[in-house]
Every structure is written in C-alpha cells, then in structure tokens.
Chains A and B, each alone.
Chain A
Amino acid sequence: MQEQRHFDVLVIGGGPAGMAAAACAAECGVQVGIVDDNPNLGGQIWRSGSDGQANTDASKWVQRLRMSGATALCGLRVVHQPEENILLAEGFNGFRELRYEKLVLATGARERFLPFPGWTLPNVMGAGGLQAMVKGGLPIRGKRVVIAGTGPLLLAVAAYLRQHEAEIPLICEQASWGSLASFASTLVRWPEKIVQGIQLKRDLAGIPFAANSWVLAAGGDATVESAVISRAGKVETIPCDYVACGFHLIPNLELPLLLGCAVRHGFVQVDDFQKTTVPSVYCAGEPTSVGGVELALIEGQIAGLCAAGRTTEAGAWFAKRRKARQFAELLDRTFRLRAELRSLSLPETLICRCEDVPYSRLRRHTSWRSAKLHTRCGMGPCQGRVCGPATQFLFQWNPDSVRPPVFPARVETLAALSRQLEMQPSEVTGGH
C-alpha cells in the first residue's frame, strides 16, 4: 500500500515545536502536514495518558492546530529521503511518500541512558520511559520507584508518579548541591520557571531528594528488586519495583544528519530564521538546543512562520528566544555529567543492549567505527540510539554518519524505494 501526499510545509515531529510550527504555517494559508510516529500528537512531554488527562497548554495547541487546517499524520515514521523534497515514511499498515516544498524538522530529544550493572533487567527503565508507560496504562499505584540520573525531568516524573500513587523512596540527582544552588539562584531571570518550581515543590513534598547521588547497580532475578545507590558518598541498597533512570536529554539528530544538516557541538546549526544549512529545511526545538517546552514553542512558531514565508512576523519572537536559549545553557551547565559515572560498568556490563556487547569488549577500541565493525556495537535495531550516546560519554567516541533507513524498515518499503528509483521522473511526480 502506498499513498502520496504533497505539502507546502511538511513538519516532522508532533511535539510542542512541531505542533507550533505546523499551526503557524497553516494559519498563513499554506498546505501543511505534520507527521509523528506515535499514535497521537503531543510528543513526549505532552503525551496524553490513557486516562485522557492532558496538560492545558497541550490542549490549547491541539485545538489551535486543529483549527489551522494542518493535516496530522500519526503512526508514521520517516525512514529515508529517496530524493530531494520527498520523504518515505512507514506506518503499521504500509508506507507513504511525503512530498514537500519546505521541511521543518522537530524531531525532539530522547533520554540519555548510561550503563550500570543490572540496567538491562526488566523494570529498569528511563525516567521519561516509565512515565510514558504509565501514561500508556501501566498501573503504578503502590509500586516503589527509585528515580535516578540527572536533570529537571527526574522531578517532573517524580511528581507525575506520585500523583498516580507510586511510592518514591528516593530521587538521586548526580549534580552537586553547589550547582543546584547556583541553578536555583539564577532562576529569578525566568519568573515562569519559579512559578513552575513552586508548584513542583508542593507536588514533591516529602519525597527524599539527594544530590551528589547516583545508581551503582540494579539487582534482581527475573526483574529488578533493588537499587544500589551512592548517596553523597555512602552506599545503600533500596528495595524497589522499578528503577527509573535517565541522564538529561539528547537531541534526535538522525534525520537532520541524513538530510545533510550541519551539526555543531551536538546540535543542529540554525540561523535566526531556524533555517538549517540545507536549503528549504528548518529545524526547531530540542535538536537545536535542549531548552524545554517554552523554547521549543518559540522556535516552532518562528520556523513555521518562516517556512510559510512570513519572516518579518517571525522577528517578533527573537528576543524571547534569546532569553529561553540562555535557560538551555543553564540546564547544560547544571546537569553536566560527573566523571565518576564513567566507572559504573563492570567488564561484563552490557553497553550495547541490541547486540549484547559488554564493556570489556569495547574498551579495547579507539573509535565508534572500530567498535561497530569488530563487536557489532550499535549495529542492532536501535541503530546506536541508546549505546551511541553512552559510548560518547564513556569513551569520548564520536558517532559517524547516518545511513538510510534511519529506522529499521520493512522489506516492502525498501523494495518500493528501489522500484521508484528505477521509474522515470514523470511517473513519480504529481502527488496527492
């Protein structure tokens, strides 16, 4: 099954940045499509729960997007760009060709995972990962969840899980009290963050929080039963049903890299108009800097307006964006990973979970490429999305170029691609 669609502006990613870009572009009167591989729009942060609960900002944007006339295409993931201005996307029931004049990449971010002994046990999940599972219907009431890692997401997840009646014996934040204190004192420059912080503090009242603390190991037989924690220098074991562990966020760069967008210091390079180095391709949100939902919305609106040709209107957002980007820099400084986290793995600890490659086999290698070729690290279905960032931190390896398909694709999708490339150009043009 193959369907073609043609859009003036195609947005990839249905989180805050993508929704804002799609709504703003569509409000300018152009044909807009927005694609996401989740069953619903909202992205990770605005993922609505199976209980139907959604955040009010999210509902506002969902409503605005609906009114804008943009076409939402959910459950589709982009796997390849067969030629300029065409993307190939695969869904549960087949694939689609998506044609565009202007493209906005709003591919979001994912959690950074770091390996430690026992991290492959079932019920050791990402912090955002566990939250997504609970939103997806996982009962968490009365379950004991140790939350560990770094970044503001840990607190948001703790508040969410507590609201759903989980027990949280401890939140372990690897950052030092010193950097957290300086983070807090700088927050006065973003009054809206203070308001969010006060609300969060109320939601978290009574949950033990430890800085200078991290998970050393997860123990258990078939599933996790305890977490071993280094808590401000002391080791303790905490019985639990889940370990939710994430080390801040890293951008999803696979698609921008596939399209040839320049990346600097781990982020997609954009100009004032959110334009990447590739003509007709814009980028907004976490791929340009991890700054949270406010920055993502601002960048999304700028990208959407610019992609629709309204660059002058976009200028009204520049000052707000500058301020929001300073917050991204503050997050980066505060939650930088400490060196001790490099020594959590034992020789037998698996680093690549797809191919089960242990630490001992990797440490002999000097580059990501060499490790891939000799150990199959990063060659499994996740294509290095989990172990790539981990090895970047552990061994300072740099990932190499991205190759299509950027997600594992079905044979029929790839076969269609090769058929199409053999066709005459006249047969492949003319969408809808």
Chain B
Amino acid sequence: MFNEVTVTVNGATVVVPFGSTAAVAVVLAGQACRKSVSGELRGPLCGMGICFECRVSIDGNLHARSCQVLCRQGMEIDTEK
C-alpha cells in the first residue's frame, strides 16, 4: 500500500496522504479553488458537497466538487480562475 498520493494542482506537483480529498490538495498547493463572479478568491466552505465553492477541474471534468473526490495517483487538478 502507498501511504501517499502524488497529484498536480495547476501543473505543480503536490504529495498528499492517501485518502485525501482533491480539496485538500488544492489548499496544500496554496491555491484558492475558484474566482467568484466579482473576482474574489474562494476556498472550501461546507466540506460536504453542497456549497460548490470548492469546484475545480479534475482530469478535465469541469466544475467537480473537490471535497467529494479522493485524490488518485497522477490526478490533474486545475483551479477555476
């Protein structure tokens, strides 16, 4: 078993503990998840998939709620800004 998973956030490599959500990878990369319609940077709020503040692109899937997706080896995460 691997204890860590390597993903990329906006192209930069991030190593997270196995079982981490994509939202955590984004926070650890020091990134906000998205830019709001008036240009504010936003990060996760509810942690349970209802607020949509943590949405990012995951392996090309747009608007994925990163708090609901577990990191997989090689996953490509891109923030929405």
Contact = CB atoms under 8 A, between A and B. Distances in A.
Are chains A and B native binding partners rather than an unrelated pairing? yes
B67 A353 contact: no
A44 interface: yes
A56 B42 CA distance: 35
A380 B52 contact: yes
Interface in B25-81: 27-28, 32, 36-38, 40-53, 55, 61, 63-64, 67-70
Interface in A343-397: 350, 353-356, 380-382, 385-386
A123 B50 CA distance: 17
Contacts of B19: 49-52, 136-137
Task: With a 10 A CB-CB cut-off, give which of A50, A252, A356 has the most chain B CB atoms.
Answer: A50
A147 B80 CA distance: 29
B34 to A, nearest CB: 10
B20 interface: yes
Given A136-B21, A136-B24, A381-B55, A110 B50 contact: yes
Contacts of A137: 16-17, 19-21, 24
B38 A138 contact: no
A138 B51 CA distance: 18
B23 interface: yes
A128 interface: yes
A353 B20 contact: no
A75 B20 CA distance: 15
A223 interface: yes
Contacts of B70: 39
Interface in A30-53: 37-39, 44, 49-52
Interface residues of B, number: 36
Given A137-B20, A356-B37, A38 B43 contact: no
Contacts of B63: 381, 408
Nearest to B31: A122
Given A50-B18, A137-B20, A110 B48 contact: yes
A356 B51 contact: no
Contacts of A382: 50-52
Contact of B47 (A51, A136, A356, A380): A136
A222 B41 contact: yes
Given A122-B32, A136-B21, A92 B64 contact: yes
Given A113-B45, A122-B32, A122-B42, A138 B52 contact: no
Contacts of B36: 120, 353, 356
A386 B43 contact: no
A286 interface: no
Contacts of B27: 133, 138
B20 A125 contact: no
B51 to A, nearest CB: 5
A350 B36 CA distance: 11
Given A133-B67, A354-B52, A408-B63, 7 more contacts: A37-B68, A120-B40, A122-B32, A123-B43, A139-B28, A354-B37, A386-B45
15 contacts: A38-B68, A51-B19, A92-B64, A110-B48, A111-B46, A125-B43, A129-B46, A132-B48, A133-B47, A136-B20, A136-B23, A138-B27, A353-B45, A353-B53, A386-B50
Interface of A: 37-39, 44, 49-52, 75, 77, 92, 110-111, 113, 120, 122-126, 128-133, 136-139, 222-223, 252, 350, 353-356, 380-382, 385-386, 408
